[in-house]
Amino acid sequence: MPYFILLGIVFSQGDLGYLYLDLYSRKGKYPGSAHFTIKGGRKISEKEYQLPIVALVCDFSAPSGSSIARLNHGEVVTLFHEFGHALHSLLSRTDYQHFSGVRVVIDLAETPSHLFEYYAWDYRFLKTFAKHYLTGEVIPEKLVQSMNSAKKMFAATELQRQVLYSLIDQKLFGEQSTMPMDTISVVADLKRQYTSWNHVEGTHWHSRFNHFITYGASYYTYIYARCFAATIWQEVCVEDPLSRAAGSTLRSELLQHGGAKEPSTLLKDLAGDQILRYHKEGIMPNLTSLCKELELMGNDCNSQR
């Protein structure tokens, strides 16, 4: 079995780019799943465009002997998350490489990846390829419904956890003095103040959470992305996520601009003014679609403290 395969992405108007798929774990390989830009797209001349080259790297269990690789649903969600990043790079058409694909403001970077996770939960899409590896039976619709119900079971707890991560990230890496701090006490205090969980003394899990290093003071963008993606899915995709109309809109209004279009204008042109809220002197995502999706709706999902 080859370690990776190379796909050429083509369209009726010509080649769009190249995608390396390196999906299975092996000794010495990078752990985890990620999208890497090998070469960004850019305009060379009026008639010539430098095609993007990207890699989608995962660490799924490799098949052994005559067996075939079988992904669990969590791995499928991960695959489509990273595929969202890959499409962002492959479909962007910017004049400059610096604005190509995922080279966007951090508040927008995770939106395409979270949007494409929705496809991994939608039966209309799953039934096109998800089949029993022995019998060929298409995945039952009731099973997909049950999976979606299970996802909502602890939705509030999961969202609370993401908020905690974001608050810790802001406290450790945000706008404050660079004086030394007791990070264990910081994490414990935030956990007591903003969650319903008890802090376990003697634990320091935050020292092993890689996103606090790579996303310094920007982990909140994962929550932003979930809000943006929920609104885009409801406004553009939910009626028929496999339609040419939905795909064309995502390509022309979201993916092709890379980082070359002002983010708030891009989002409003894509999903309407309701995707954003204006609070004090800043802009933030509208929470309504995400709260409705997770069945967390109260009197005012967007209320401020």
- Residue 45: CA count within 13 A, CB half-sphere: 2
The CA radius of gyration of the chain, in Å to the nearest whole number, is: 21
Among the options 82, 110, 117, 253, which is catalytic?
A: 82
Are residues 197 and 188 in contact, defined by beta-carbon separation less than 8 angstroms?
A: no
Structure tokens at 82: 């990273």
Cα angle 97, 103, 106 (rounded to 5 degrees) comes to 160
List 14's β-bridge partners, or say none.
11
Instruction: Report long-range pairs for 293-297 (Cβ below 8 Å, ≥24 apart).
Output: 293/230, 293/234, 294/152, 294/155, 294/156, 294/159, 295/152, 295/155, 296/155, 296/156, 296/159
Per-residue exposure over 36-55, b if at least 16 CB sit within 10 Å of its own CB, e if not: bbeebbbeeeeeebebbbbb
Q: Is 82 a catalytic residue?
A: yes
Structure tokens at 305: 């403290």
Residues that are catalytic: 82
